[in-house]
Amino acid sequence: MNVKTVTINADRLAASIHELGQFGLNEGGGLDRTTFTEPELKARDWLKEQLSKLNVDVYTDEAANIWGKRVGKKRKSIVCGSHIDTVPNGGKFDGALGVLIGLEMLRTLEENGIETEHDVELVSFSAEEPNPFGLSTFGSRAISGKLTAQQIKDVKNAEGIRVTDALAKAGGIPEQLDHCVRKEDELLAYLEVHIEQGKRLVDAHVPLGVVTGITGIYREELTIKGVPNHAGTTVMTDRSDALVAAAELIVTVKNVCTDFPKAELVGTVGQVHVLPNATNIIPGEVVLAVEIRGEKTEDVNKVQQELQEKKSYVETTYGVHIETKVMLNQAPVEMSEYIMKTMERQADIAGFSTMRLGSMAGHDAAHMASLTPSGMIFVPSVDGKSHCPEEESSMNDIEKAANVCLHSLLEIDQEGGSV
Protein backbone atom coordinates (compact mmCIF):
# COMPACT_ATOMS: atom_id res chain seq x y z
CA MET A 1 0.00 0.00 0.00
CA ASN A 2 1.13 3.52 -0.82
CA VAL A 3 0.71 5.34 2.50
CA LYS A 4 0.94 8.69 0.70
CA THR A 5 -2.58 8.17 -0.65
CA VAL A 6 -4.18 7.14 2.65
CA THR A 7 -6.83 9.49 4.01
CA ILE A 8 -9.00 9.58 7.09
CA ASN A 9 -12.72 8.75 6.93
CA ALA A 10 -14.40 12.15 7.16
CA ASP A 11 -17.91 10.75 7.58
CA ARG A 12 -16.79 8.61 10.51
CA LEU A 13 -14.99 11.57 12.07
CA ALA A 14 -18.12 13.72 11.70
CA ALA A 15 -20.17 10.99 13.37
CA SER A 16 -17.70 10.87 16.27
CA ILE A 17 -17.92 14.65 16.70
CA HIS A 18 -21.71 14.34 16.84
CA GLU A 19 -21.66 11.42 19.29
CA LEU A 20 -19.24 13.02 21.72
CA GLY A 21 -21.22 16.24 21.41
CA GLN A 22 -24.23 14.60 23.08
CA PHE A 23 -22.49 14.32 26.45
CA GLY A 24 -23.40 17.36 28.52
CA LEU A 25 -25.68 18.84 25.83
CA ASN A 26 -28.00 21.43 27.37
CA GLU A 27 -31.32 22.86 26.17
CA GLY A 28 -29.61 25.85 24.57
CA GLY A 29 -27.34 23.70 22.43
CA GLY A 30 -24.22 24.27 24.51
CA LEU A 31 -22.16 21.68 26.35
CA ASP A 32 -21.90 21.53 30.12
CA ARG A 33 -19.10 18.97 30.32
CA THR A 34 -16.82 20.55 32.86
CA THR A 35 -14.03 18.69 34.58
CA PHE A 36 -14.93 15.54 36.55
CA THR A 37 -18.71 16.09 36.29
CA GLU A 38 -21.06 13.23 35.40
CA PRO A 39 -21.31 14.23 31.71
CA GLU A 40 -17.52 14.39 31.48
CA LEU A 41 -17.15 11.00 33.17
CA LYS A 42 -19.63 9.51 30.69
CA ALA A 43 -17.71 11.07 27.81
CA ARG A 44 -14.55 9.45 29.17
CA ASP A 45 -16.29 6.06 29.16
CA TRP A 46 -17.39 6.62 25.56
CA LEU A 47 -13.83 7.41 24.48
CA LYS A 48 -12.41 4.35 26.24
CA GLU A 49 -15.09 2.22 24.56
CA GLN A 50 -14.06 3.53 21.13
CA LEU A 51 -10.41 2.80 21.85
CA SER A 52 -11.23 -0.70 23.09
CA LYS A 53 -12.46 -1.56 19.58
CA LEU A 54 -8.96 -1.00 18.20
CA ASN A 55 -5.74 -2.92 18.58
CA VAL A 56 -4.33 -0.47 21.10
CA ASP A 57 -3.35 -0.59 24.75
CA VAL A 58 -5.89 1.51 26.65
CA TYR A 59 -5.19 2.83 30.13
CA THR A 60 -5.87 5.72 32.49
CA ASP A 61 -2.84 7.18 34.25
CA GLU A 62 -2.54 8.65 37.75
CA ALA A 63 -3.74 12.06 36.52
CA ALA A 64 -6.80 10.42 34.91
CA ASN A 65 -5.44 11.12 31.44
CA ILE A 66 -6.79 8.56 28.97
CA TRP A 67 -4.21 6.90 26.72
CA GLY A 68 -4.45 4.60 23.73
CA LYS A 69 -1.12 3.23 22.49
CA ARG A 70 -0.63 1.54 19.12
CA VAL A 71 2.66 -0.31 19.31
CA GLY A 72 5.27 0.30 16.62
CA LYS A 73 8.64 -1.25 15.89
CA LYS A 74 10.53 1.14 18.17
CA ARG A 75 9.57 2.08 21.71
CA LYS A 76 9.44 5.81 21.26
CA SER A 77 6.09 7.54 20.89
CA ILE A 78 4.48 10.11 18.66
CA VAL A 79 1.64 11.45 20.78
CA CYS A 80 -1.52 13.09 19.41
CA GLY A 81 -4.40 14.49 21.41
CA SER A 82 -6.04 17.30 23.36
CA HIS A 83 -8.93 17.29 25.87
CA ILE A 84 -12.67 16.54 26.06
CA ASP A 85 -13.72 18.70 29.02
CA THR A 86 -15.52 21.95 28.18
CA VAL A 87 -16.17 25.33 29.68
CA PRO A 88 -19.74 25.84 30.97
CA ASN A 89 -22.12 26.18 28.01
CA GLY A 90 -19.23 25.54 25.65
CA GLY A 91 -18.97 24.12 22.15
CA LYS A 92 -18.35 20.67 20.74
CA PHE A 93 -15.07 21.38 18.92
CA ASP A 94 -12.76 22.98 21.49
CA GLY A 95 -10.33 20.27 22.59
CA ALA A 96 -12.59 17.44 21.50
CA LEU A 97 -11.56 17.92 17.87
CA GLY A 98 -7.93 17.12 18.65
CA VAL A 99 -8.86 13.97 20.55
CA LEU A 100 -11.26 12.75 17.88
CA ILE A 101 -8.80 13.39 15.06
CA GLY A 102 -6.26 11.40 17.04
CA LEU A 103 -8.81 8.60 17.39
CA GLU A 104 -9.58 8.73 13.67
CA MET A 105 -5.88 8.54 12.83
CA LEU A 106 -5.55 5.37 14.93
CA ARG A 107 -8.56 3.90 13.13
CA THR A 108 -7.07 4.81 9.75
CA LEU A 109 -3.70 3.27 10.56
CA GLU A 110 -5.36 0.05 11.71
CA GLU A 111 -7.82 -0.43 8.87
CA ASN A 112 -5.09 0.19 6.30
CA GLY A 113 -2.65 -2.15 8.03
CA ILE A 114 0.01 0.54 8.33
CA GLU A 115 2.90 -0.48 10.56
CA THR A 116 4.71 2.49 12.05
CA GLU A 117 8.33 2.62 13.10
CA HIS A 118 7.35 4.17 16.42
CA ASP A 119 4.53 3.82 18.91
CA VAL A 120 1.58 6.10 18.19
CA GLU A 121 -0.35 7.30 21.22
CA LEU A 122 -3.62 9.14 21.63
CA VAL A 123 -4.05 11.14 24.83
CA SER A 124 -7.11 12.86 26.24
CA PHE A 125 -5.78 15.18 28.92
CA SER A 126 -7.68 15.79 32.15
CA ALA A 127 -9.02 19.22 33.04
CA GLU A 128 -7.52 21.44 30.37
CA GLU A 129 -10.14 24.13 30.82
CA PRO A 130 -10.36 26.50 33.81
CA ASN A 131 -12.49 24.71 36.37
CA PRO A 132 -13.93 25.02 39.90
CA PHE A 133 -10.75 23.50 41.33
CA GLY A 134 -8.59 26.25 39.82
CA LEU A 135 -6.32 23.71 38.12
CA SER A 136 -6.41 24.15 34.34
CA THR A 137 -4.16 22.10 32.02
CA PHE A 138 -4.14 19.60 34.88
CA GLY A 139 -3.22 16.48 32.93
CA SER A 140 -0.49 17.95 30.75
CA ARG A 141 1.06 19.74 33.72
CA ALA A 142 1.07 16.48 35.66
CA ILE A 143 2.81 14.41 32.99
CA SER A 144 5.40 17.15 32.43
CA GLY A 145 6.23 17.26 36.14
CA LYS A 146 4.74 20.72 36.74
CA LEU A 147 1.94 19.59 39.06
CA THR A 148 2.60 17.30 42.02
CA ALA A 149 0.60 15.25 44.50
CA GLN A 150 1.69 17.65 47.25
CA GLN A 151 0.31 20.64 45.36
CA ILE A 152 -3.18 19.18 44.94
CA LYS A 153 -3.73 17.37 48.24
CA ASP A 154 -5.68 20.19 49.92
CA VAL A 155 -7.41 21.69 46.86
CA LYS A 156 -11.21 21.93 47.03
CA ASN A 157 -13.93 23.54 44.94
CA ALA A 158 -16.54 25.98 46.27
CA GLU A 159 -18.74 23.07 47.41
CA GLY A 160 -15.92 21.63 49.48
CA ILE A 161 -15.25 18.68 47.14
CA ARG A 162 -11.61 17.68 47.14
CA VAL A 163 -9.91 17.45 43.78
CA THR A 164 -8.28 14.24 44.98
CA ASP A 165 -11.70 12.64 45.41
CA ALA A 166 -12.89 13.85 42.00
CA LEU A 167 -9.67 12.64 40.40
CA ALA A 168 -10.03 9.19 41.95
CA LYS A 169 -13.61 8.97 40.68
CA ALA A 170 -12.31 9.62 37.16
CA GLY A 171 -9.81 6.78 37.46
CA GLY A 172 -6.77 8.69 38.67
CA ILE A 173 -4.57 7.91 41.66
CA PRO A 174 -4.01 11.29 43.35
CA GLU A 175 -1.48 10.14 45.95
CA GLN A 176 0.67 8.74 43.12
CA LEU A 177 0.26 11.69 40.75
CA ASP A 178 4.01 12.08 40.38
CA HIS A 179 4.21 8.59 38.83
CA CYS A 180 2.53 9.72 35.60
CA VAL A 181 5.44 11.93 34.53
CA ARG A 182 6.65 11.03 31.04
CA LYS A 183 10.35 10.97 30.19
CA GLU A 184 11.81 12.96 27.32
CA ASP A 185 13.64 9.94 25.93
CA GLU A 186 10.40 7.98 25.47
CA LEU A 187 8.75 10.64 23.29
CA LEU A 188 9.45 11.59 19.68
CA ALA A 189 6.87 14.32 19.05
CA TYR A 190 3.51 15.75 20.10
CA LEU A 191 0.87 16.83 17.56
CA GLU A 192 -2.40 18.60 18.30
CA VAL A 193 -5.20 19.82 16.06
CA HIS A 194 -7.34 22.57 17.58
CA ILE A 195 -9.84 25.16 16.48
CA GLU A 196 -8.33 28.63 16.20
CA GLN A 197 -10.93 30.32 18.45
CA GLY A 198 -10.40 33.57 16.57
CA LYS A 199 -10.94 35.11 13.12
CA ARG A 200 -7.46 35.37 11.63
CA LEU A 201 -7.79 32.29 9.41
CA VAL A 202 -11.36 33.15 8.43
CA ASP A 203 -10.41 36.71 7.53
CA ALA A 204 -7.42 35.50 5.50
CA HIS A 205 -9.50 32.77 3.76
CA VAL A 206 -6.87 30.18 4.72
CA PRO A 207 -8.01 26.66 5.73
CA LEU A 208 -5.08 25.68 7.96
CA GLY A 209 -3.02 27.49 10.55
CA VAL A 210 0.45 26.30 11.52
CA VAL A 211 1.03 27.43 15.08
CA THR A 212 4.36 29.13 15.75
CA GLY A 213 4.03 29.38 19.51
CA ILE A 214 1.67 29.61 22.45
CA THR A 215 1.09 32.93 24.11
CA GLY A 216 2.77 34.14 27.23
CA ILE A 217 0.29 35.18 29.90
CA TYR A 218 0.94 37.85 32.52
CA ARG A 219 -1.70 38.53 35.16
CA GLU A 220 -1.60 41.02 37.98
CA GLU A 221 -4.04 42.15 40.62
CA LEU A 222 -4.11 45.90 41.17
CA THR A 223 -5.53 47.31 44.39
CA ILE A 224 -6.24 51.03 44.07
CA LYS A 225 -6.79 52.70 47.43
CA GLY A 226 -8.49 56.08 47.56
CA VAL A 227 -10.59 57.74 50.26
CA PRO A 228 -14.27 56.81 50.69
CA ASN A 229 -16.45 59.81 51.43
CA HIS A 230 -19.94 61.25 51.06
CA ALA A 231 -20.81 61.46 47.36
CA GLY A 232 -23.00 64.53 47.84
CA THR A 233 -20.97 66.71 50.18
CA THR A 234 -17.44 66.14 48.87
CA VAL A 235 -16.60 68.59 46.08
CA MET A 236 -14.91 67.22 42.99
CA THR A 237 -11.52 68.81 43.72
CA ASP A 238 -11.36 67.19 47.17
CA ARG A 239 -11.84 63.61 46.02
CA SER A 240 -9.50 60.63 45.96
CA ASP A 241 -11.80 58.45 43.86
CA ALA A 242 -10.38 54.95 43.45
CA LEU A 243 -12.81 54.07 40.65
CA VAL A 244 -11.92 57.08 38.51
CA ALA A 245 -8.25 56.15 38.91
CA ALA A 246 -9.08 52.56 37.99
CA ALA A 247 -10.95 53.74 34.89
CA GLU A 248 -7.84 55.50 33.62
CA LEU A 249 -5.80 52.34 34.10
CA ILE A 250 -8.42 50.22 32.31
CA VAL A 251 -8.37 52.55 29.32
CA THR A 252 -4.57 52.53 29.39
CA VAL A 253 -4.49 48.74 29.03
CA LYS A 254 -6.81 49.00 26.05
CA ASN A 255 -4.92 51.84 24.37
CA VAL A 256 -1.42 50.46 24.86
CA CYS A 257 -2.36 47.06 23.47
CA THR A 258 -4.36 48.53 20.59
CA ASP A 259 -1.47 50.79 19.56
CA PHE A 260 1.10 48.02 19.86
CA PRO A 261 2.66 47.28 16.45
CA LYS A 262 1.94 43.55 16.61
CA ALA A 263 -1.52 42.00 16.35
CA GLU A 264 -0.60 39.04 18.53
CA LEU A 265 -0.69 41.00 21.76
CA VAL A 266 -3.85 41.64 23.74
CA GLY A 267 -4.78 43.10 27.10
CA THR A 268 -7.89 42.66 29.21
CA VAL A 269 -9.24 43.89 32.52
CA GLY A 270 -11.69 41.09 33.21
CA GLN A 271 -12.61 41.66 36.84
CA VAL A 272 -13.46 44.81 38.79
CA HIS A 273 -14.38 44.84 42.49
CA VAL A 274 -15.49 48.17 43.94
CA LEU A 275 -15.70 48.97 47.65
CA PRO A 276 -17.93 49.94 49.33
CA ASN A 277 -19.93 49.72 46.08
CA ALA A 278 -22.69 52.08 47.18
CA THR A 279 -24.47 54.76 45.15
CA ASN A 280 -23.84 57.61 47.59
CA ILE A 281 -20.25 56.81 48.60
CA ILE A 282 -17.13 57.74 46.68
CA PRO A 283 -15.32 54.47 45.90
CA GLY A 284 -12.54 53.97 48.42
CA GLU A 285 -10.98 50.84 46.96
CA VAL A 286 -11.00 49.08 43.62
CA VAL A 287 -9.39 45.75 42.76
CA LEU A 288 -8.64 45.05 39.09
CA ALA A 289 -7.56 41.81 37.43
CA VAL A 290 -5.29 42.71 34.51
CA GLU A 291 -4.15 40.20 31.90
CA ILE A 292 -1.63 40.71 29.09
CA ARG A 293 -1.02 38.03 26.45
CA GLY A 294 1.68 38.07 23.81
CA GLU A 295 3.74 35.79 21.61
CA LYS A 296 7.05 37.36 22.71
CA THR A 297 8.25 37.94 26.27
CA GLU A 298 9.73 41.31 25.33
CA ASP A 299 6.36 42.48 23.99
CA VAL A 300 4.57 41.58 27.22
CA ASN A 301 7.34 43.27 29.23
CA LYS A 302 6.98 46.46 27.16
CA VAL A 303 3.27 46.66 27.98
CA GLN A 304 4.00 46.03 31.66
CA GLN A 305 6.51 48.90 31.61
CA GLU A 306 4.04 51.34 30.06
CA LEU A 307 1.37 50.29 32.54
CA GLN A 308 3.80 50.83 35.43
CA GLU A 309 4.55 54.35 34.21
CA LYS A 310 0.83 55.08 34.05
CA LYS A 311 0.36 53.79 37.62
CA SER A 312 2.81 56.40 38.90
CA TYR A 313 0.97 59.12 37.00
CA VAL A 314 -2.42 57.97 38.31
CA GLU A 315 -1.21 57.90 41.92
CA THR A 316 -0.01 61.50 41.69
CA THR A 317 -2.95 62.82 39.68
CA TYR A 318 -5.79 61.20 41.64
CA GLY A 319 -4.30 61.01 45.13
CA VAL A 320 -4.51 57.24 45.35
CA HIS A 321 -2.13 54.43 46.27
CA ILE A 322 -1.73 51.41 44.00
CA GLU A 323 -0.56 47.99 45.13
CA THR A 324 0.46 45.38 42.56
CA LYS A 325 0.39 41.62 43.06
CA VAL A 326 1.65 39.39 40.25
CA MET A 327 -0.72 36.41 39.88
CA LEU A 328 0.84 34.68 36.85
CA ASN A 329 3.88 35.22 34.67
CA GLN A 330 3.89 32.40 32.12
CA ALA A 331 6.48 32.68 29.38
CA PRO A 332 5.54 32.11 25.73
CA VAL A 333 6.33 28.67 24.33
CA GLU A 334 7.69 28.10 20.83
CA MET A 335 6.55 25.21 18.68
CA SER A 336 9.09 23.03 16.86
CA GLU A 337 10.34 24.53 13.59
CA TYR A 338 10.87 21.01 12.27
CA ILE A 339 7.24 20.07 12.93
CA MET A 340 5.98 23.37 11.50
CA LYS A 341 7.87 22.73 8.26
CA THR A 342 6.64 19.14 8.17
CA MET A 343 3.03 20.28 8.49
CA GLU A 344 3.51 22.94 5.82
CA ARG A 345 5.13 20.43 3.48
CA GLN A 346 2.29 17.93 3.88
CA ALA A 347 -0.30 20.66 3.37
CA ASP A 348 1.51 21.78 0.22
CA ILE A 349 1.58 18.21 -1.12
CA ALA A 350 -2.18 18.01 -0.56
CA GLY A 351 -2.73 21.39 -2.23
CA PHE A 352 -3.87 23.23 0.91
CA SER A 353 -2.73 26.74 1.75
CA THR A 354 -1.42 27.46 5.24
CA MET A 355 -0.67 30.46 7.39
CA ARG A 356 1.69 30.72 10.34
CA LEU A 357 0.19 32.28 13.43
CA GLY A 358 0.66 32.32 17.17
CA SER A 359 -1.89 30.92 19.59
CA MET A 360 -3.38 33.55 21.86
CA ALA A 361 -4.97 30.88 24.07
CA GLY A 362 -3.23 28.39 26.32
CA HIS A 363 -3.07 24.73 25.29
CA ASP A 364 -1.76 21.39 26.55
CA ALA A 365 0.87 21.63 23.82
CA ALA A 366 2.59 24.36 25.85
CA HIS A 367 3.44 21.81 28.54
CA MET A 368 4.17 18.98 26.11
CA ALA A 369 6.75 21.22 24.44
CA SER A 370 8.88 20.96 27.58
CA LEU A 371 9.06 17.18 27.00
CA THR A 372 9.26 16.76 23.25
CA PRO A 373 9.17 18.70 19.95
CA SER A 374 5.56 19.82 19.58
CA GLY A 375 3.35 21.26 16.89
CA MET A 376 -0.24 22.40 16.41
CA ILE A 377 -2.58 22.83 13.47
CA PHE A 378 -5.41 25.35 13.75
CA VAL A 379 -8.75 24.90 11.99
CA PRO A 380 -10.74 28.07 11.20
CA SER A 381 -13.52 28.96 13.64
CA VAL A 382 -16.70 30.18 11.93
CA ASP A 383 -17.14 33.87 12.87
CA GLY A 384 -14.25 33.41 15.30
CA LYS A 385 -16.61 32.05 17.95
CA SER A 386 -15.58 29.65 20.71
CA HIS A 387 -16.47 28.82 24.32
CA CYS A 388 -20.11 29.17 23.33
CA PRO A 389 -22.87 27.03 21.75
CA GLU A 390 -22.29 28.75 18.38
CA GLU A 391 -18.75 27.34 18.17
CA GLU A 392 -18.40 25.80 14.69
CA SER A 393 -15.82 24.65 12.16
CA SER A 394 -16.53 23.21 8.72
CA MET A 395 -16.00 19.50 8.06
CA ASN A 396 -14.15 20.48 4.89
CA ASP A 397 -11.50 22.30 6.93
CA ILE A 398 -11.51 19.62 9.62
CA GLU A 399 -10.88 16.90 7.03
CA LYS A 400 -7.94 18.85 5.62
CA ALA A 401 -6.42 19.31 9.07
CA ALA A 402 -6.86 15.65 9.95
CA ASN A 403 -5.16 14.45 6.77
CA VAL A 404 -2.28 16.90 7.14
CA CYS A 405 -1.83 15.78 10.74
CA LEU A 406 -1.92 12.11 9.69
CA HIS A 407 0.73 12.54 7.01
CA SER A 408 2.85 14.76 9.24
CA LEU A 409 2.80 11.93 11.77
CA LEU A 410 3.82 9.42 9.10
CA GLU A 411 6.67 11.63 7.88
CA ILE A 412 7.97 12.19 11.42
CA ASP A 413 7.68 8.45 12.03
CA GLN A 414 9.79 7.64 8.96
CA GLU A 415 12.39 10.34 9.58
CA GLY A 416 12.73 9.61 13.28
CA GLY A 417 11.91 13.12 14.39
CA SER A 418 14.04 16.20 14.92
CA VAL A 419 14.03 19.38 16.97
Give the list of residues 6+ apart from residue 14 with CB closer than 8 angstroms, or none. Answer: 395, 398
Is 194 labelled a binding residue?
A: yes
Is 205 labelled a binding residue?
A: no
Q: Backbone phi, then psi, for 369, in 5-degree steps? A: -65, -20
**Strand 57-60 vs strand 216-225: parallel, antiparallel, or unpaired?**
unpaired
Is 179 labelled a binding residue?
A: no
Nearest to 87 by CA among 394, 393, 391, 398: 391
3-state secondary structure 347-410: HHHHCCCEEEEEECCCCCHHHHCCCCCEEEEEECCHHHCCCCCCCCCCHHHHHHHHHHHHHHHH
Is 230 labelled a binding residue?
A: no
The H-assigned helical ranges of 212-324 are 242-259, 297-318
Is 363 labelled a binding residue?
A: no
**Strand 187-195 vs strand 374-379: parallel, antiparallel, or unpaired?**
parallel
Is 280 labelled a binding residue?
A: yes
Report the distance separating Cα 51 and Cα 123, nearest Å.
11
Would you list which residues are annotated within the binding site for Zn(2+)?
83, 94, 129, 194, 387
Annotated binding site for allantoate: 219, 280, 293
Residues within the annotated binding site?
Answer: 83, 94, 129, 194, 219, 280, 293, 387
